[in-house]
A and B are shown apart, each in its own frame.
Chain A
Amino acid sequence: MNLNTPFKNYRKRSSSKNISSPEPVIVPQIGTSNTPSNLSTKNNNIVKYSVLYRKFTNKKNKTWEGDGTLIWYTNNDIALIKNEDDTMICKLKDANKSILKGSFSGSGYEFELDEEIVTSKIPKLTLSSTPTQIIHKPIIKPFKSPLLTINSNNNKNNIIKNIDQKDQKGQNIIQKDKIVDNKKVQDIITKSSSSKQTKETNRLKSSDPLYDIKNVQNPLFMPDFPKSIDDSEIHRKVVVDPVLSVKLRDHQRYGVEFLYSCLMGLKSSDINGAILADEMGLGKTLQTITLIWTLLRQSHIVGKKPIIDKVLICCPVSLVSNWKNEFSKWLGMNRVGVLAINGNKFQNEVRDIQLFPNNKVYQVMIIGYEKMQSMSELLSEITFDLLICDEGHRLKSSENKAIKTLKSFNIKRTILLSGTPIQNDLTEFYTMADFVNPGVLGSLKHFQKTFVKPILSSRDAKCTNKALIKKGKEKSKELVELTNKFILRRLNDELTKYLPKRSDYILFIAPTSLQLQLFKTIIETKRFQTLIDGETDENSSTIKNSSSSSSSLNLINSFRKICNSPSLLKTDSFFLDISERSSNSAEDVEFRNQLGKKVKSGKILVLIKLLGLLYAKNDEKVVIVSNFTATLDIIESIFQSLGLAFTRLDGSTPSNERGKIVDSFNKSSTTKSFAMLLSAKAGGVGLNLIGASRLILFDNDWNPAVDLQAIARIHRDGQMKDVKVYRFLTNGCMDEKIFQRQLVKQDLSDRFVDQKGGEKEIFDRSDLKDIFTINFDKIKTNQYCNTHELMCCDCNGKGEIVLENEFGSDLEDSNEESDEDEDEETKEKKKFMSALDYTQKYPDNENENTKVDEIKRKRLRRCLKGYRHIQPVQSSIVFKTDDDILDTLLNGQDREKPLISYVFGKY
């Protein structure tokens, strides 16, 4: 060690300041020194390090007491160590070795080297410039939402490419960036993405509509609110999510707007609910779902929460799963949480309902009416913001428990969905309107006094007071105006624009001789005569006693059974009774057995032929609808004997299987499932049978709505092929009579029907006699059609389109004309005149019966407008309808014994 070292000044250093000392240390160079490679070349002989020191301890958990500085004189390899207060605590020889080690001890202390202290003015070089030490700071990309939107900005900053270095094992080591100026780019990224984030998250707070509609062709905006008094409320446009609005048809768009304005109180302050009474197939479900989704996510005031939070949907039990499927079909499974309470035994319903309001998992609850009753206590704990009642005509009776329970929930906004809201009674109508908008029609008494009484009395057929009729019409007009604010009804013709063509064929089928014989048997029994005569004797306006009315009902049913198939009479106790075949004598038993074997009726024969032709065509499936399960049994056995595949759905099919049956029918080929046998009532509830393109209504019901429902099963959204509907009627028999009455009733349903309505009305006494009249002779000619005759149509059955002139003057006008005539008549009648003059002027020719016939005729014509009349048994003509199967049937008939006597076709 060379002690003759020249004087070197060294500086004190305070360790707690982080400013590097400004003065340079000038060290004269004595000689060359072996500087280790990691020393900076600025100070030749002195290198300073910061060290940690502690007193020597044997403890397990050692800590460093403090920080000191080590000054290393490289020339003589001595190091001095000082603590924070600049007192020297140690002096080291062979400093080089110790420094290389990093941690060393001396003078009762232990030391650990930290880092070098650089004391020059020159700013510290950034660590990244020294090549061997690269601190890898991976660029952490901020979160970018992976949502696929319609206008997702492709915000690709293609500048950066991150290359993952993988070693042999495929692990990611480090991500290097290939950029020159990485800091600058990172700034750009963070700025742009964070601004995008703020944009997205603050969409609710901005006054733009919630969805980006620049690329949407026809955005559907909801009606605006009027300017409010409160200036702090900024309004924004409420727009329907483009995902849904592109799928809405025009009438549905209008429907959603209408519902929105009703619910939000835009129409009037006392209107908070609406009735959507569109006919079946117009998309009430879709309109409702669109409205719910819009209200769940948006508010018309900037910065406020969305308008509704929790929704309750009440519907018939079998439709609960259907609603859930509709939600997932239109909105996908993840946008809205839908809780369906449908009796699935895996579900803990009570717990689900209790947890429903607490969290954000579910927003919509779908529950059946009965379940809603039983869980009403639990449900009353939940605050719902919107109530939807599907098939709302269930709520038509005000004494109905369901209505009372629903009212007790105090849900502010209500929507009622119903395909047939106005069925029979004005009071029922009042109940529904009052449920949706309490008080809009006044109290019940007020409503009855102001509207019901005048309207009904004006509708009464016997009413002659002109003033009354006029007042009734006025009141009815007023009522319609009042209710049009919150009731929306569109008819099925809207759909015809979108759906494939539908052709209706009414086939009047000749009854077999056995059928005619059975009819004769009944008519000729004594019991029958007494029944008929007994009824026509009574005054037509009084009610019959129940025994005779029930027996006429039984009689009608027996007749219907004969029309379907004689074998059904085997178990008909009424028939057996009346024909005295109900005893257990051998003869009677034999008779019944024989009867049971006679399956074939006119309709069955035609059915077999039709099915044969249809199956041969091999690309269309058929649905056969009947009102009797016994008939369906017969048809089933026919199918089995023919070897054709079929599925059956009636009231006895368990509800959880129905969905599967329907699905498999729609999707399978004709070989696997050619026909669906459907019971009219069971099939009415929302089934979707678009896999079939032909429908056979094997028999009909008094209520035209039932038949219409059946037709709507196949002629609806999703149907690809042209639809052909065949209606089988046994010519001149009960089938046809029921059909005629159906038409009359259907006509009346558009207006308010008087009194009790329903089946009882049909049993007009004179009417009954007519029902049971069978014109045997005319039927046997095979050219007769009772309906055609009733319509007084002069065409010759060649299948040409019947023009209106043939019917005479326009029906509406003629009614009004007669009204005016009557007006004058009554005026004249009030003057005095001699009795002779009176009888000459007004001969007593207006028999009530003929008047009723006249009305019937007009109505029949009106309902059967547009049908072509075809009489198949004509010598020279080969008929061509738009259905080649029907053509084959008609033209290939036996002239002597044709199966089909007449056809009405609308195509």
Chain B
Amino acid sequence: MSREEDMDGMIGAGSIILVDQLQDLGINAGDITKLKAAGIYSVSTVMSTTKRNLSKIKGLSEVKVEKIKEASNKLVNCGFVSALIQCDIRKRVIKISTGCKSFDQMLNGGISTMSTTEVFGEFRTGKTQLSHTLCVTAQLPKDQGGAEGKVAYIDTEGTFRPERIHEIAERFGLDGNQCLENISYVRALNSEHQHELVEQLGMHLSQGGYRLIIVDSIISLFRVDYSGRGELGERQQKLNQHLSKLGRMAEEFNCAVFLTNQVQSDPGASALFASVDGRKPVGGHILAHASQTRILLRKGRGDERIAKIQDSPECPEGECTYVLGSGGIMDVSE
């Protein structure tokens, strides 16, 4: 990342083309309102939704859908480009520091935008603490490892503590109240609500200014709403759609999506699944493949915790140690 990097992903919706621009190409306002009601706010979202799904929107006929798709194609080019251009696009990626320098080093700078990061581990390993720390670090200026952006926090377990945000903000020398202002918080009530929220999120994100979406945890409501083997298939499908939507949003709006996951016990586990103590993350392969970076957290000695990369498209395997403290996630100090 050079200093002269493209800054307009930050200010306003510079690179985000909103659906309102389709009006100029002949789509009437009413249809655009319908699109927005369905949570589609930007033209790139239109491009990523299939015609089938667009037709399912209340009030849009197949003919309309064709027209909309055609118009969107004119505005956004989604064809082949040379990898060099892709490289330029990747320059907009911002790495958000996790608060612990060795953790950042392991991730080659921190958790990156335009990608989904999943963190899983047993209870008390620091997943929620990490989420809180990221809420604050995402607001730091870029030269301090932050992303200078707002945070959307979807809480499914009821573990969000604004008081912690105050403490963590103190550690970084930030104004606690302003930090809280920059976090958009919602408590998801059930898995369907969780999915609807993502649509709402589209509206927020299209205004620009968001850099981090945290879902803590992604799976807990799904686990509750769908029970038994019979509904497992449906659960996985819904989960998949949910994740795919989140992932697309991350790429379109240059945000980092940070997911927390739970673990399930596997009494009969053999060495097949190489997780440390016979526990494997919930969500199966759907969740495993949806997130680009996966990190396992486990408890070390005393108040140390160990993070290990399980899957990453760019970082080599590695481990690092961190401690949980009043300032969130911190380096092990000697």
A residues apposed to B, CB below 8 Å? 16-18, 52-54, 61, 63-67, 84, 112, 114-115, 140-148, 152, 171-172, 194, 197-198, 201, 204, 297, 303, 305-306, 321, 332, 334-335, 337, 339, 342, 344, 346-348, 351-352, 355, 358-362, 656
A150 to B241 alpha-carbon distance, docked (Å) = 47
The answer to whether B175 touches A148, judged by C-beta atoms less than 8 angstroms apart, is yes
Q: Closest CB-CB distance, B146 to chain A, in whole Å?
A: 9
Inter-chain CA distance A124–B94, complex, in Å, is 45
B87 to chain A, nearest CB (A): 16
Minimum distance in angstroms from B66 CB to a CB of chain A = 11
Contact yes or no, B334 A360, CB < 8 A: no
Give the distance to chain B from A629, nearest Cβ to Cβ, in Å: 27
- B78 at interface by CB-CB < 8 Å: no
Task: Judge whether B178 and A140 touch: CB under 8 Å.
Answer: no
Known: A198-B11, A335-B144, A656-B334. A146 touches B61 (CB 8 A): no
Query: Are the CB atoms of B101 and A362 closer together than 8 Å?
Result: yes
Interface of A is mostly: loop
Which residue on A lies nearest to B211, using beta carbons? A143
Given known contacts A144-B181, A198-B11, is B173 in contact with A52 (CB within 8 Å)? no
Chain B nearest CB from A190 CB (Å) reads 8
Of A54, A337, A339, A342, chain B has the most CB atoms within 10 Å of the CB of A337
A355 CA to B169 CA, complexed, in Å? 28
User: What separation, in Å, do the CA atoms of A303 and B4 have in the docked complex?
Assistant: 8
23 sampled A-B residue pairs with Cβ under 8 A: A61-B56, A63-B55, A67-B63, A114-B59, A141-B181, A142-B207, A143-B148, A146-B179, A146-B181, A147-B141, A147-B173, A147-B174, A172-B186, A194-B11, A201-B7, A306-B3, A332-B173, A348-B318, A355-B105, A359-B104, A359-B108, A361-B101, A361-B110
In the assembled complex, B224 has its CB within 8 A of some CB on chain A:
no
On chain A, the residues within 8 Å of B102 by CB distance are: 347, 352
Q: Are A63 and B3 within 8 A (Cβ)?
A: no
Residues of A within 8 A of B159 (CB): none
Query: Is B40 interfacial (CB-CB < 8 Å)?
Result: no
Q: Is the CB of A143 within 8 A of B209?
A: yes
Once the chains bind, are A67 and B64 in contact (CB under 8 Å)?
yes
Residues of chain A lying within 8 A (CB to CB) of residue B181: 141, 144, 146
Neighbouring A residues of B109 by C-beta, 8 Å: 359-361
- Shortest B27–chain A CB gap in Å is 8
Name the CB-closest residue of B to A114.
B59
Known: A146-B178, A332-B173, A344-B334. A65 touches B104 (CB 8 A): no
CA distance A102 to B292 in the complex (A): 44
Contact in complex: B63, A334 (CB < 8 Å): no
> B144 and A61: CB pair below 8 A?
no
Is A63 a contact partner of B62 (Cβ separation < 8 A)?
yes
A15 nearest in chain B by CB position: B28
> How many B residues, CB 8 Å from partner?
60
Chain B 44-77 interface 0/1 with A at a Cβ cutoff of 8 Å (1 = within): 0000000010011001111110000000000000
| Cβ-based interface call for B309 (8 A) | no
B172 and A334: CB pair below 8 A?
Answer: yes
Evaluate contact between A146 and B29: CB separation under 8 angstroms: no
- Residues of chain A within 8 A (CB-CB) of B318 are 348, 351
Instruction: Judge if B324 is at the interface, Cβ distance under 8 Å.
Output: no
Check if B89 is an interface residue, CB within 8 A of chain A. no
B182: nearest chain-A partner, CB-CB: A143
Cβ 8 A contact of A140, one of B204, B321, B332, B334: B204
> Quick check: is B128 within 8 A (CB to CB) of the other chain?
no
Contact B63 A18 (CB under 8 A): no
CA distance A636 to B210 in the complex (A): 64
Tell whether, in the assembled complex, residue A171 and residue B187 are in contact, meaning their CB atoms are under 8 Å apart.
yes
**Chain B 1-47 interface residues, beta-carbon cutoff 8 Å to A:** 1-4, 7, 10-12, 26, 28-30
Ranked 5 nearest A-B pairs via Cβ: A18-B28, A146-B178, A64-B61, A359-B109, A63-B55
Structural contact, B29 and A355, CB atoms closer than 8 A: no
**10 other A-B residue contacts (CB within 8 Å) besides A204-B3, A656-B334:** A16-B26, A66-B62, A142-B207, A146-B169, A147-B173, A152-B175, A201-B11, A334-B172, A346-B332, A359-B95
Mark B88-116 against chain A: 1 for CB-CB distance below 8 A, else 0.
00000001010001101100111000000
Within B98-153, which residues are at the interface with A (CB < 8 Å)? 101-102, 104-105, 108-110, 139-141, 143-145, 148-150
Chain B residues 200-238 with CB under 8 Å of chain A are 204, 207-209
Interface on B for A, CB 8 Å cutoff? 1-4, 7, 10-12, 26, 28-30, 52, 55-56, 59-64, 95, 97, 101-102, 104-105, 108-110, 139-141, 143-145, 148-150, 169, 172-176, 178-179, 181-182, 185-187, 204, 207-209, 318, 321, 332, 334
Chain B proximity of A572: nearest CB distance (Å): 41
Most buried by B among A61, A65, A172, A360: A360
Q: Given the known A-B contacts A334-B172, A361-B105, are A52 and B110 also in contact in the complex, defined by CB atoms under 8 Å?
A: no
- Are A334 and B173 in contact, CB atoms less than 8 angstroms apart? yes
A52 pairs with B2, CB closer than 8 A: no
State which of A114, A146, A204, A361 has its C-beta within 8 Å of the C-beta of B175: A146
Contacts of B179 in A (CB 8 A): 146
B3/A65 in contact, CB under 8 A: no
Task: State the Cβ distance, A650 to closest chain B Cβ, in Å.
Answer: 22
By beta carbon, the residue of chain B nearest A169 is: B187
A66 touches B63 (CB 8 A): yes
Q: How far is the CA of A145 from the CA of B187 in the complex (A)?
A: 25
A360 touches B1 (CB 8 A): yes
Q: B189 CB to closest chain A CB, in angstroms?
A: 8
Quote the shortest CB–CB distance from A838 to chain B (angstroms): 77
Which chain B residues lie closer than 8 Å to A362 at the CB level? 101, 105
Residues of B within 8 A of A360 (CB): 1, 95, 109, 145
Neighbouring A residues of B207 by C-beta, 8 Å: 140, 142
Cα-based distance from A27 to B167 in the complex (angstroms):
70
- Tell me whether A52 and B61 are in contact (CB under 8 A): yes
CB < 8 Å: which of A17, A66, A361 contacts B97?
A361
Contact B144 A334 (CB under 8 A): yes
Do B59 and A52 have beta carbons less than 8 Å apart?
yes
Cα distance A352–B10 in the bound complex, in angstroms: 31
Docked-complex contact A148 and B29, CB < 8 angstroms: no
* Known A140-B207, A361-B109; contact A148-B173, beta-carbon cutoff 8 A: yes
Residues of A within 8 A of B26 (CB): 16
Q: Are A346 and B321 in contact (CB under 8 A)?
A: yes
B13 nearest CB across to chain A (Å): 11
Cβ of B2 and Cβ of A305 under 8 Å apart?
A: yes
List chain A residues, Cβ under 8 A from B2. Answer: 305
Nearest opposing residue in chain B for A152, CB measure: B175
**B182 contacts A146, C-beta separation under 8 Å:** yes
A334 to B139, CA, bound (A): 13
Cβ-closest chain A residue relative to B210: A143
Contact B7 A143 (CB under 8 A): no
**Separation in Å of the A576 CB from the closest CB of chain B?**
46
CB neighbours of A63 from chain B (8 A): 52, 55-56, 61-62
Cβ–Cβ < 8 Å partners of A194 in chain B: 11-12
B143 to chain A, nearest CB (A): 7
A54 to B61, CA, bound (A): 9
Nearest CB in chain A: distance from B134 CB, A: 14
Give the distance in Å from the alpha carbon of A342 to the alpha carbon of B334 in the complex.
10
